[in-house]
Homo-oligomer: A and B are copies of this chain.
């Protein structure tokens, strides 16, 4: 029989083929352990069954959860996910998008990245080129430019955290963040400041230290040297930095919670297991990743699709102030 017939039975063609043929083909394929060459399929079809994921660091707890959601969505959609890590380097970011572009992916999911600066326009043109070959770009975070986006309501969540802490009796806060320019994190700073000051608190300082545990650790050490007053709450821009803060405090003999309170963002698994538990705002990272691939796959996309809600989780790291 012809190759065409075989192709029709093995690959999702809508066309009908006689049962007898179908059986024979399937039997043969099974016997030979045949698997379609997806590259050839991709060249013939002009599009491949892959979705790219670009993140800063795949070992990061939060981004790992995100990736897990992406993997789940991709599996469900019959796509494979290829990942590329940028280390938060804008240059590498455009480089990896370029590399991924070579695969003519069905879509590309772009983790929180800088939205301005000279490299941002390079990125922009890479993304346009990608779109030009039929790939759908979805960015994580609030909608920007004409791309599809899935995001969480960071601003509202951060404000809620600020209000909650104020209500618990905190009056002074220090935020440990990184340089401005990443929308998600800028929203957190702004939202928290809003909520906290509205509740009657004061933002003592916004430190631009970085996104890592080490950034938190170092910042907390500095804070201690400068003599943080008891009853201050240090909020890390991500749970990992908050964890670093907690460790530094503990090592310096401060009691987390009683002496200095700590809060974060993301609700990574360890936030629950830290001692005391870390107060944080829970971001549905896994769900976000899943939705991102839905956004790639769905033919129609509602530009006004709502931000996912986030939720503040109060734990022992911010006990009520007497």
Contacts and interface: CB of A to CB of B under 8 A. Distances in A.
Nearest to A37: B104
Contact of A102 (B35, B83, B286): B35
A68 interface: yes
A55 to B, nearest CB: 10
Given A38-B102, A39-B42, A61-B64, A82 B50 contact: yes
B61 A61 contact: yes
A312 to B, nearest CB: 21
Interface in A66-81: 67-68, 71-72, 75, 80-81
The complex is assembled from copies of this chain, and their number is 2
Contacts of A61: 59, 61, 64
A58 B80 contact: no
A215 to B, nearest CB: 14
A58 B67 CA distance: 7
A250 B316 CA distance: 13
Given A68-B57, A273-B246, A274-B274, A35 B129 contact: yes
A113 B200 CA distance: 55
Interface string A119-135: 00000011001000000
A23 interface: no
Given A65-B59, A85-B68, A37 B33 contact: no
Interface residues of A, number: 52
Contacts of A250: 275
A142 interface: no
Contacts of A57: 68
Contacts of A286: 59
Contacts of A269: 213
Nearest to A269: B213
Contact of A273 (B98, B126, B129, B213): B213
A270 interface: yes
A272 interface: yes
B50 A59 contact: no
A61 to B, nearest CB: 7
Interface string A3-45: 0000000000000000000000000000001011111101100
A253 to B, nearest CB: 13
Contacts of A274: 273-275
Given A59-B64, A273-B247, A83 B83 contact: yes
A282 to B, nearest CB: 15
B125 A33 contact: yes
Interface string A82-110: 11110000000000001111111000000
B59 A243 contact: no
Given A61-B61, A81-B82, 15 more contacts: A35-B102, A37-B102, A38-B39, A39-B48, A43-B43, A60-B64, A61-B64, A72-B85, A75-B85, A80-B84, A80-B103, A243-B270, A270-B273, A273-B274, A275-B275
